[in-house]
């Protein structure tokens, strides 16, 4: 699902604002060395925009960053973050069963390779 999420973001991100990095890569280590406590909470999706967002906050901020009607995702912020994270965790714990699991991440297409860090 995470891989599909990245593929979808690449298609939707016409301004090529987003860059992607592995949570185990050099870029992530540099970002998280300033916020070691946040690193413990990371399992897959992180949004970094001078502040670290994880789980549901990351998803909401990523979607809003796309602009246009996607800004409606801000409506989710009226819900308590704990409830949103329970939903996020539920989806994350079941995603392999629902969507299947890839043995390894696919390599980015040449036209998008510059968007991948590390």
pLDDT digits (tens, 9 = 90+) for 18-27: 888 877 788 8
User: What pLDDT does residue 110 have?
Assistant: 74
Span of 7-11, 17-21, 46-50 with lowest mean pLDDT: 46-50
Flag whether pLDDT at 51 surpasses 70: yes
Paired tokens of 117? 């860090």
Flag whether pLDDT at 62 surpasses 60: yes
User: What pLDDT does residue 112 have?
Assistant: 79
> Domain map of the chain by residue range?
2-115
Q: Please count the CA atoms within 13 angstroms of the CA of 90 that sit on its side-chain side.
A: 6
Of 88, 96, 77, the closest CA to residue 45 belongs to 88
Contact 64, 71 (CB under 8 A): yes
Which DSSP helix (H) or strand (E) runs through 54? strand 52-54
CA end-to-end distance (rounded Å), the chain: 21
Q: What is the pTM of this model?
A: 0.77
Q: In angstroms, what CA-CA distances link 60 with 30, 33, 67, 72, 85?
A: 23, 24, 12, 9, 11
């Amino acid at each position: 699902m995470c891989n599909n999420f990245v593929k979808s973001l690449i298609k939707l991100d016409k301004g090529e604002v987003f860059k992607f990095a592995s949570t185990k890569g050099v870029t992530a280590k540099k970002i998280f060395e300033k916020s070691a406590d946040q690193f413990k909470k990371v399992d897959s999706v992180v949004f970094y925009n001078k502040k670290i967002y994880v789980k549901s906050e990351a998803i909401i901020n990523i979607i809003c960053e796309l602009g246009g009607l996607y800004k409606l995702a801000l409506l989710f912020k009226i819900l308590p973050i704990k409830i949103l994270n329970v939903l996020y965790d539920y989806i994350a714990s079941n995603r392999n069963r629902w969507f299947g699991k890839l043995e390894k991440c696919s390599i980015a297409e040449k036209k998008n390779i510059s968007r991948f860090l590390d």
